[in-house]
């Protein structure tokens, strides 16, 4: 039984705790902490977990085998570094850290440790539809890939949402997905600014992010975060001999009043519920079988941060911005990564 300590008991932290205590197998939550001690006490009391004052205390708890970081983004670096220093596997919800420099410090710490401990929460790699799309691409059935068209649509976003967040918080999922889907790095980013939607108020919405892959494949990502009708994620790869796309994911089709209606998910939790389950179950199994994670790496978190920075620069300047990464350490070779 893998004993997990959870740092951060907000919305996503509580959802993962629910998942580990009621859905998954081979795992128990033994410790929790949160900046809001009352929330941590309530959550810990409901599941019989030890409540700690700090995240570092969770890491140091001898009843904790592995750590799950779901706290506020700017705190991720300190908790991930603490877990590495303690030699404990750590699953960190995205972002790995809030700057590329902080991500690189985590990469360097893990390389110095000598083996993988870190997994980053890019759950699209665990979504059944995306996995089928990747399998189809790798089969050669549609020939060599030329382009990929993506859409990331939200019904609405909070009032504090700023235009840069369309890149750093929203498009970062497509950034990681594209690197994983095509098995290569992103070389450059551009952003086009269409006519502004009235639904976004003063927010520049939508945006069109264009990613140039190292091989020359072009990935375009429509970012519409106030489209009202629901949460809609789309992806289509155009190959030399055909195309492959994510299918309709609704389990229901309604026929009434001369119409066929396919319901659209309300938000990311509804759309990717099963992907989150698979993501954490595979993490638990990987640690049980081999003692190390096999999903998205600290390098993936670093690369996503660098590409996000390039996207923000492109948004601000209107220019094409090249992506420059440090040399990839041997620790992060493809043989070390399954998902």
State residue 67's pLDDT score. 98
Mean pLDDT of 290-314: 96
Sequence spans of domains, the chain: 2-123+274-297+324-332, 125-269+306-322
Confidence of residue 337 (pLDDT cuts 50, 70, 90): low
Question: Can you state the percent helix, strand and coil of the chain, rounding each to 5?
Answer: 40, 20, 35
CB count in 10 Å sphere of residue 165 = 18
| H helix and E strand count, the chain | 11, 15
Confidence of residue 231 (pLDDT cuts 50, 70, 90): very high
Query: Is 130 a residue whose pLDDT tops 80?
Result: yes
Confidence of residue 253 (pLDDT cuts 50, 70, 90): confident
CATH superfamily for 2-123+274-297+324-332 is NAD(P)-binding Rossmann-like Domain (3.40.50.720)
Model pLDDT for residues 77-105, shown as the tens digit of each residue = 999 999 999 999 999 999 999 999 999 99
Whether omega for the bond prior to residue 230 falls within 30 degrees of 0, making it cis, is no
In this structure, CATH architecture of domain 125-269+306-322: 2-Layer Sandwich (3.30)
Model pLDDT for residues 2-44, shown as the tens digit of each residue = 999 999 999 999 999 999 999 999 999 999 999 999 999 999 9
State residue 336's pLDDT score. 58
* Same topology between domain 2-123+274-297+324-332 and domain 125-269+306-322: no
How would you class 62 by CB atoms within 10 Å of its CB: exposed for 0-12, middle for 13-18, buried for 19 or more?
exposed
Query: Is 335 a residue whose pLDDT tops 60?
Result: no
> N- to C-terminal Cα distance for the chain?
23
């Amino acid at each position: 039984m893998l004993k997990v300590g959870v740092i951060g008991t907000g919305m996503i932290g509580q959802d993962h705790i629910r998942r580990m205590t009621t859905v998954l197998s081979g795992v128990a939550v033994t410790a929790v902490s949160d900046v809001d001690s009352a929330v941590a006490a309530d959550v810990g009391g409901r599941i019989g977990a030890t409540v700690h004052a700090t995240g570092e205390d969770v890491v140091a708890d001898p009843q904790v085998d592995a750590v799950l970081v779901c706290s506020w983004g700017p705190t991720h670096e300190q908790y991930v570094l603490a877990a590495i220093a303690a030699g404990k596997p750590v699953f960190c919800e995205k972002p790995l850290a809030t700057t590329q420099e902080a991500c690189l410090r985590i990469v360097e710490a893990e390389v110095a440790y000598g083996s993988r401990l870190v997994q980053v929460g890019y759950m699209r790699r665990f979504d059944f539809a995306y996995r089928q799309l990747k399998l189809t691409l790798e089969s050669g059935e549609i020939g060599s890939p030329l382009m990929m068209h993506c859409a990331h649509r939200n019904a609405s976003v909070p009032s504090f949402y700023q235009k840069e967040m369309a890149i750093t918080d929203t498009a970062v999922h497509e950034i990681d997905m594209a690197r994983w889907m095509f098995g290569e790095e992103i070389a450059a980013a551009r952003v086009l600014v269409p006519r502004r939607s009235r639904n976004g108020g003063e927010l520049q919405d939508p945006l069109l992010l264009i990613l140039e892959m190292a091989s020359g494949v072009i990935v375009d990502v429509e970012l519409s975060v106030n489209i009202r009708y629901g949460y809609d994620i789309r992806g289509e790869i155009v190959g030399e001999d055909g195309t492959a796309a994510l299918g309709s994911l609704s389990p229901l089709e309604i026929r009434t009043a001369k119409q066929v209606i396919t319901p659209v998910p309300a938000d990311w939790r509804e759309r990717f519920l099963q992907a989150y389950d698979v993501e954490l179950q595979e993490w638990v199994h990987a640690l049980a079988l081999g003692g190390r994670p096999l999903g998205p790496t600290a390098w993936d978190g670093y690369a996503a941060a660098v590409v996000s920075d390039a996207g923000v620069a492109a948004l601000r300047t209107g220019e094409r911005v090249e992506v420059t990464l440090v040399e990839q350490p041997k620790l992060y070779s493809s043989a070390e990564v399954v998902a």
